[in-house]
């Protein structure tokens, strides 16, 4: 069956047919061909085994699982608690036969700039490193944010890359670093006129030599 997703944003409506976008002005919601094309109400989902955080809000809209990034003070940057929550939510959703797809979007920010996810919360990692200068940072030591954050982030990336249900990500704003990791592995990524994409990388010219980080945009 051809997969058809109709995505209605605040200013634009996208009908996605196998990767082709059609832009029509309308208001925000999301429908799929699995459901009747009629408005549905969001229901906040609660599970006893999920590690919860107010910075990521899982909900349900019909047969669609919706994850809303809600870390406005850090431009929805991904932190360790959010990674834990994403892992637990996805585990529940992938096992739920009544859910057909997953939508990842962001909430509002404290500025006028539209943001999907501005990357990983490196500020919290830096603070952890400063607070424990005697620890062996950068060596993958369990329990240290400097190591555990990246370990858990890559677990999330692997879960998304091997997902059993399609994922749709609304790139309505800045998409950087960890935000790319949260969405690039999904089947559908919807860009709008507000999308700003950037991904940092580090590369080596020879063993033991590193070049400075570059930004791919």
Q: Report the pLDDT value the prediction gives residue 211, as an integer from 0 to 100.
A: 54
pLDDT digits (tens, 9 = 90+) for 75-122: 999 999 999 999 999 999 999 999 999 999 999 887 888 999 999 988
Instruction: For Cα atoms 105, 114, 123, give the angle at the middle one, nearest 5 degrees.
Output: 85
Across the range 32-38, mean pLDDT stands at 36
The structure's pTM equals 0.71
**CA 151/CA 120 separation, integer angstroms:** 12
Q: Where are the domains of the chain?
A: 4-119+160-216
User: What percent of the chain is modeled with pLDDT above 90?
Assistant: 49
Checking if the pLDDT of 35 tops 60, the result is: no
CATH number of 4-119+160-216: 3.90.226.10
**CA 47/CA 34 separation, integer angstroms:** 24
Checking if the pLDDT of 161 tops 50, the result is: yes
Residue 140, both tokens? 């993958």
Q: Report the pLDDT value the prediction gives residue 1, as an integer from 0 to 100.
A: 29
């Amino acid at each position: 069956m051809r997969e058809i997703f109709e995505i209605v944003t605040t200013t634009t409506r996208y009908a996605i047919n196998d990767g082709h976008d059609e832009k029509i002005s309308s208001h925000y919601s999301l429908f799929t061909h699995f459901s009747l094309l009629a408005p549905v109400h969001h229901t906040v989902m609660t599970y006893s085994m999920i590690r919860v955080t107010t910075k990521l809000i899982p909900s349900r809209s019909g047969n669609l699982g919706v994850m809303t990034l809600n870390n406005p003070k850090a431009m929805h940057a991904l932190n360790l608690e959010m990674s834990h929550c994403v892992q637990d939510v996805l585990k529940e959703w992938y096992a739920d036969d009544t859910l057909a797809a997953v939508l990842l979007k962001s909430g509002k920010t404290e500025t006028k700039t539209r943001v999907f996810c501005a990357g990983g919360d490196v500020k919290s990692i830096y603070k952890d490193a400063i607070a424990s200068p005697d620890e062996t940072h950068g060596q993958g030591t369990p329990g240290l944010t400097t190591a555990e954050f990246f370990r858990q982030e890559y677990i999330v990336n692997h879960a998304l890359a091997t997902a059993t249900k399609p994922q749709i990500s609304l790139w309505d704003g800045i998409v950087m670093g960890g935000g790319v990791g949260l969405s690039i592995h999904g089947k559908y990524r919807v860009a709008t006129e507000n999308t700003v994409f950037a991904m940092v990388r580090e590369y080596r010219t020879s063993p033991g030599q590193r070049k400075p980080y570059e930004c791919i945009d």
